Structure 1
Amino acid sequence: MRSTADRIRQAISFELIGILIVTPLFAWAFDHPMGDMGVLVVLGATAATAWNYLFNLGFDHALHRLRGDVRKTLPLRVVHAMLFEATLLMLLLPLFAWWLDVSLVAALLMEVSFAAFYMVYAFVFTWGYDTLFPPRQAGRVSA
């Protein structure tokens, strides 16, 4: 299992790199000012950082309980990324609609685009992170 400090490092580095990539890309793609999109991305990243920590903690505890090991196979990585993005989409949809002053349907289309990007990004980032910083073997479960 990962330590709290490691989980925090993982979540913050994931979000910072994501912000640097997604802000200019989606400001251009959705034809919104960079400042408006930047604020939205930072608000979303803040919510996602908190959710990332909680989601990954719960996911690892579930893996440890069900399998006795927190290492993820390729299919588990796909499930992990999809579940994370689906739950985050539900949490952020009202924020997108309100901040960009668009309908829920328009916000949903934007969110689906963000989710698709972040699902691929989460898969690649987490795999790379796990390679650079392998999780400890199952044993004592830490918070």
Structure 2
Amino acid sequence: MTQALRPGGRLLIESADSRLQPLACPDETGPAQKLANRIRQACWTLQARRTDLGYGRTLTRRLRDADLVDVQAEACFSLAGHAEVRFERTMIERARERLIASGMVTAEELEQHLANVDAGRLDLTAFPVVSAWGRKARC
């Protein structure tokens, strides 16, 4: 991508980095939040076998290594919204069988967690997204 840039051209890349903020509920105030965080950790453990959960933090280095200048980045994650509820439910449904088979979570715990999610009792987070950008030098 950097080779396609003209001098002075800019490149923006975004990637997730769930290791920057690995909790489902940063405000762990009770059993429902503790269960959510334990389940999220189990999900990340399974996912880490297939992908680099900390890739986002490498973007600035990668952009500098590609000879871009004025490299900067920011990371953000959302908290307590409808999108986070949909993300949580989707992640759990997709990983349900693997989570149970792993022994890290029981089917009953997953059902309780999804009931907590549906009841709106949790301030859930989505994974952090890192946005990194840089510019190709003018000469």
Tell me which interval the TM-score lies in, with the shorter structure as reference length: 0.3 to 0.5
Higher relative contact order (CA 8 A, sep 6+): 2
- More strand per residue: 2
Q: Whose Rg is larger?
A: 2
Give the alignment's TM-score, normalised by structure 2.
0.36
